[in-house]
Amino acid sequence: MVQSINPRTGAAFGPNFEDTSISEVDSIIKKSRNAFEGWSSISHSKRAEILELVADGIDSNATALVEVADLETGLGLARLTGEVARTTFQIREFAKAVRAGKFVTPEVDLFVVGAPPVGHPGFIRSLQPLGAVVVFGANNFPFAFSVLGGDTASALAAGCTVIAKAHPSHPQTSVAVFDIAAEVFTAQGFADVLTLIHGVQAGAHALKSDSISAGAFTGSLKGGRALFDIASKREVPIPFYGELGSVNPVIVLEGGAADPKALAASYLDSLLLGNGQFCTNPSLLFVLTGSPVKEEIAAQILERKPTPFLSPATKSLHDSRREELSGILESQPVSGVEITDGGIYSTPAVIFTELEVIATHPEALSIECFGPTGLVISYSGVDSLLAQIASLEGALTASIFANEGDERAIEVVKALAKKVGRVSWNSWPTGVAVSIGQQHGGPYPASTSPLHTSVGLHAISRFLRPVSYQNFPEQIAAQLSHN
Amino acid sequence: MVQSINPRTGAAFGPNFEDTSISEVDSIIKKSRNAFEGWSSISHSKRAEILELVADGIDSNATALVEVADLETGLGLARLTGEVARTTFQIREFAKAVRAGKFVTPEVDLFVVGAPPVGHPGFIRSLQPLGAVVVFGANNFPFAFSVLGGDTASALAAGCTVIAKAHPSHPQTSVAVFDIAAEVFTAQGFADVLTLIHGVQAGAHALKSDSISAGAFTGSLKGGRALFDIASKREVPIPFYGELGSVNPVIVLEGGAADPKALAASYLDSLLLGNGQFCTNPSLLFVLTGSPVKEEIAAQILERKPTPFLSPATKSLHDSRREELSGILESQPVSGVEITDGGIYSTPAVIFTELEVIATHPEALSIECFGPTGLVISYSGVDSLLAQIASLEGALTASIFANEGDERAIEVVKALAKKVGRVSWNSWPTGVAVSIGQQHGGPYPASTSPLHTSVGLHAISRFLRPVSYQNFPEQIAAQLSHN
């Protein structure tokens, strides 16, 4: 059972949400699987049209949705309004993509006369939706990575049905979004294309079901790994797209620090955006020893004010990690403004250290402080920096600040590219564009499936499986495809 | 330690091959990982050129290679000569694909002006090789699915380095192929791009290494699942592309049986090709109750002669499975000609049963008799057939024999497509073309990763990971790509 908590006051409010019982989950799985037959069979254009109606439904209820989400998450009206726009944009982009045949158009490989290996029958390589899938929403994006977020939208666009597991830190928002979408699907004759469940046990049970074909997850390393293990240990293992923890490195080369004051300010803006509760948070910053950027950060952090955590659990985990990191590195955090008004806050802080210290405490770089804590590491030269990058674990994203003439910049970029799914030039990692070129996924522990992305149009591919039709006469083949 | 066995006589011959020791495996992994730095960085055209030189090397030694492979596998000179041609064709096709930029060309997503979500930075979405990978060869294709088979060729084309684990049923062929390839790589300045290990423990140890980025396997369900579990349980899980067991259904509708005699003959040809030791073997044949096809098969099987098994272990597993299947279904196999000349043979056989019997013994359909055994199931109508198809487990491929006017054919094809990676129309499943439209992979247990194929050009994609470059100036981006 769960109840909403207002992060600005710590007070519980609103109805209690019961965990979905195991028998209810079984019944929902059955409904989802039945709904798959219809949803996977309609034309791409019809599927796109219905998804667009869902997006319209969300948009026309945006004000009410943002209000409830703000009460549950404390993320603020401006950010949440933007997030709703992003969420419906995302749904419409996926809809547009499948309508245009992107990712779903069969590849035609014509008959070649002659003996093998050169000669071969004709093939039509189609892409077919996997089935009913379970999506585990994240706490930090109550719209864009939640019930109707990118995982759900891309799976629906592919033709899968989705069982969404609501995140306990925003149950009211989850139900409100679900109700709007479910009404549209039902009105269009596709009830149960999207279903909703509550509770950790309910989610795990669904992932184990023979009738479930894939899972998608955004959240912590611990939770994500547990679910990945469930998916992998099944008698019939299924794809599991987990986007887990990530400690994202940002490198400042000498030429990238021309304006130390502005760089420090933009660093703190990115670090503290949404109270630092982003999977793309720039939590590791590497600056040259003696760089004035360090002094600027140390000065500017003093003025930074806290914003609320998403939940008491998030704060408590963050605080213990910050303490652990500070202890390992024997370096006291330099902290910002403290506020004690009953809200779920921690003072923003930066911990400073040197590459030589990290060398004896490499475990420090795996500690993800999900919240308003940065680690600034001074390095004495590019060679030692490159060695350090080579031993980083996988991450979602990395940034480099350099000028175009910086002769070592290419080397650093290539080293970063081996560790992450996205490298940004002179720009911060937060703010993940929904676009065809996006890659939001990296080597483990950033993702359990680094060949795929959870943001951007390629996300659809995670839910499609190739089926080749060999030697089919044209008129039969024509009856198999629909677009 | 392993020694070759001549399947035609059962006699051991040639040198003993020691298992690679754990310390040697570690040293080979290190070399492979070091070689990756160079191999992954050269231009696509240079990589293609070297792969073509490897193919040339194999072709010019084809006669000697086929001779040794024939002694070790008993597959016959004609089949093995064709397989060498297929293997080098495959290497050249992968080389041609990367030279043309297929699968490896970055996707350019231009900067869009405006506020998010519509506006976004520019992206260059590149595809980068995963690293050093381990390839476990199969016993049934000593060239095309072995040391330099499709998994190795596609991984090398992607820019990965490969540690090939030799199959113990053809160690001399494995070493001979490896020596030719290794000489070319070394002469071209890329020593250790391909390395070779022997032994089950050596292979498992390599798959566990932190320095290994993926695994690929063709073989049994038991062996493949054990390796999949190793790959999934690692602290850092890695992609594992296993092509495991498959019981491939073939459906004959009324209209597909116009010439029962010819159909029965072509069925037995496909079933007994290579002694039935194919992952695409049509081991389940569904015919209409009372169809003369059944009588034809029962008559024609009597004349069929055995050909050798690949190894005593393969024969022994096959024989016990055939006995198990026959026992469960309470149906004696109808057998062909028996030969007792000391070779590793089993008499070809077909077991006949009915759908009603299967209904009470569904486990029978999961028993893969890897060898010369077919199961022919009579069905009384298309509705009961469709229900049976819906409960089949995943398979690599399925076939349907029907005429174009058959009104239920489309329904059957759609039902089959949910279970397999390839559906063939009026043609047998054996003979897997190396082509862009091929899909050789299906729902588990056919594959551990049904989104991918192990045959055909798309196989390259298994070894590439997207990395997006965000907001990069053109002149820097130009230095990152090479083709």
Tally of domains within chain A = 2
Tell me what pLDDT residue A483 has. Answer: 54
Residue A375's region, left for phi above 0, alpha for psi from -120 to 50, else beta, is beta
Stretch B347-373: mean pLDDT: 95
Give pLDDT, residue A478. Answer: 85
Can you tell me the mean pLDDT for B306-316?
Answer: 94
CB proximity under 8 Å: A 41-70 to B:
none
Q: Do the domain assignments include residue A430?
A: no
Residues B164, B240 share a domain? yes
Mean pLDDT value of segment B182-190: 98
Residues B263 and B211 in one domain: no
Same domain? For B340 and B199 the reply is no
**Is some CB atom of chain B closer than 8 A to the CB atom of A112?**
yes
Question: In this prediction, what percent of chain B has a pLDDT beyond 90?
Answer: 95
pLDDT band for position B40 (50/70/90)? very high
Answer whether residue B478 shows pLDDT above 90.
no
pLDDT of residue B295 exceeding 90 = yes
Local confidence band at B483 (pLDDT 50, 70, 90 cut-offs): low
Let me know whether A40 and A145 are in one domain: yes
Q: Are residues B143 and B228 part of one domain?
A: yes
- Determine the residue of chain A that is closest to B469 in CA distance: A423
Among B72, B83, B93, B243, the active-site one is B243
- Token pair of B414 as six digits: 């759609």
For chain B, what is the radius of gyration of the CA atoms?
A: 24
Confidence band of B474 (pLDDT split at 50, 70, 90): confident
CATH code of residue B415: 3.40.309.10
Tens of pLDDT along chain A (483 residues)? 999 999 999 999 999 999 999 999 999 999 999 999 999 999 999 999 999 999 999 999 999 999 999 999 999 999 999 999 999 999 999 999 999 999 999 999 999 999 999 999 999 999 999 999 999 999 999 999 999 999 999 999 999 999 999 999 999 999 999 999 999 999 999 999 999 999 999 999 999 999 999 999 999 999 999 999 999 999 999 999 999 988 999 999 999 999 999 999 999 999 999 999 999 999 999 999 999 999 999 999 999 999 999 999 999 999 999 999 999 999 999 999 999 888 899 999 999 999 999 999 999 999 999 999 999 999 999 999 999 999 999 999 999 999 998 889 999 999 999 999 999 999 999 999 999 999 999 999 999 999 999 999 999 999 999 999 999 998 888 888 755
- Whether residues B410 and B283 share a domain: the answer is yes
- B481 pLDDT more than 80: no
Determine which of A126, A416, A439, A464 to mutate to test the interface with B (most B C-beta atoms within 10 Å). A439
Question: Does B283 have pLDDT greater than 60?
Answer: yes
User: With an 8 Å Cβ cutoff, are A427 and B468 in contact?
Assistant: no
Nearest CA in chain B to A420: B467
Question: Which chain A residue's Cα is nearest to B239?
Answer: A449
Q: Hey, what are B172's tokens? A: 């001399």
Structural contact between residues A232 and B232, judged by C-beta atoms closer than 8 angstroms: yes
> Measured between beta carbons, which residues in chain B are less than 8 angstroms from residue A282?
none
Regarding whether A189 and A305 lie in a shared domain, the answer is: no
With respect to residue A9, please indicate whether it lies within any of the assigned structural domains.
yes
Q: Is B243 a catalytic residue?
A: yes
A188 and A321 assigned to the same domain = no
Residue B231's pLDDT is what? Answer: 98
Distance CA A152, CA A144 (A): 10
The predicted complex's ipTM stands at 0.97
Q: Quick check: is A453 in a domain? A: yes
B369 is catalytic: no
Instruction: Tell me: do A177 and A290 sit in the same domain.
Output: no
Q: Is A435 inside any structural domain?
A: no
Helix (H) or strand (E) holding A326: helix A312-329
In a domain, A441, yes or no: no
User: Which residues from A are below 8 Å from B424, CB to CB?
Assistant: 121, 469-471
Task: Answer yes or no: do B103 and B161 share one domain.
Answer: yes
* CB B3, CB B12: distance < 8 Å: yes
Tell me the residues of chain B between 372 and 431 that have a Cβ less than 8 Å away from chain A. Answer: 393-394, 404, 409-410, 413-414, 417-418, 420-427, 431
CA distance A288 to chain B (A): 22
CA distance A300 to B338: 88
- Chain B interface, mutation test: which of A465, A471, A479, A481, most B Cβ atoms within 10 Å? A465
Name the nearest CA neighbour of B136 among B127, B145, B144: B145
pTM of the model: 0.97
- B382-423 confidence digits (pLDDT tens): 999 999 999 999 999 999 999 998 889 999 999 999 999 999
Report whether A483 contacts B440 (CB < 8 A).
Answer: no
Identify whether A20 is part of a domain: yes
B482 pLDDT band, cuts 50/70/90, is low
Residues A90 and A205 in one domain: yes
Instruction: State pLDDT tens for residues B61-108.
Output: 999 999 999 999 999 999 999 999 999 999 999 999 999 999 999 999
Q: Which of A128, A453, A470 sits opposite B466 (nearest CB)?
A: A453
Phi, psi of B264 (to 5 degrees): -60, -40
Query: Minimal Cα–Cα distance from A343 to chain B, Å?
Result: 30
What range defines the domain where residue B17 resides? Answer: 2-244+447-480
Indicate whether B166 belongs to any domain. yes
Name which of A231, A206, A98 is nearest A159 in CA terms. A98
In a domain, A230, yes or no: yes
Of residues B307 and B342, the one with the higher pLDDT is B307
How far apart, in Å, are the Cα atoms of B392 and each of A212, A232, B277, B400? 16, 21, 21, 15
Here the CATH number for the domain that contains residue A93 is 3.40.605.10
Nearest chain A alpha carbon to B83: A117
- The sign one gets for the Cα dihedral A192, A197, A201, A207 is positive
Same domain, yes or no, for B314 and B294?
A: yes
Beta-carbon contacts of residue B1 (< 8 Å; ≥ 6 apart): B16, B17, B18, B19
Chain A positions in Cβ-Cβ contact with residue B462 (cut-off 8 Å): 451
